[in-house]
Amino acid sequence: MLQVKEIHTYYGLSHILFGVSLEVGKGEIVCLLGRNGAGKSTTMRSIMGLTPPRSGYIKYKGVTCTGQKPYLLARQGMGYVPDNRRVFADLTVGENLEISKGKPKDGKGWDKDRVYDFFPDLKKIDSRKAGFLSGGEQQMLTIARALMTNPDLLLLDEPTEGLAPLIIKMLEEQIARLKESGLTVLLAEQNLSVALRLSDRAYVIDNGSIRYHGTSKELQENDEVRQKYLCV
Ligand SMILES: Nc1ncnc2c1ncn2[C@@H]1O[C@H](COP(=O)(O)OP(=O)(O)OP(=O)(O)O)[C@@H](O)[C@H]1O
Ligand SMILES: [Mg+2]
Mean pLDDT of 139-148: 94
How much distance in Å is there from the Cα of 36 to the middle of ligand 2?
A: 7
CB-based pocket (< 6 A), ligand 1: 11, 14, 16, 34, 36-42, 83, 158, 190
What's the CATH number for 2-230? 3.40.50.300
Q: What's the Rg (C-alpha) of the chain?
A: 17
Torsion-angle region of residue 39: left (phi > 0), alpha (psi -120 to 50) or beta? left
∠ Cα 184 147 145 (to 5°): 140
**Distance between Cα 42 and ligand 1 center (Å):** 6
User: What is the pTM for the complete model shown?
Assistant: 0.94
How many angstroms does the Cα of residue 34 sit away from the middle of ligand 2?
A: 9
d(CA 152, CA 169): 24
Ranges of each domain in the chain: 2-230
SS3 139: helix
pLDDT digits (tens, 9 = 90+) for 25-69: 999 999 999 999 999 999 999 999 999 999 999 999 999 999 999
pLDDT tens for 1-15 read: 999 999 999 999 999
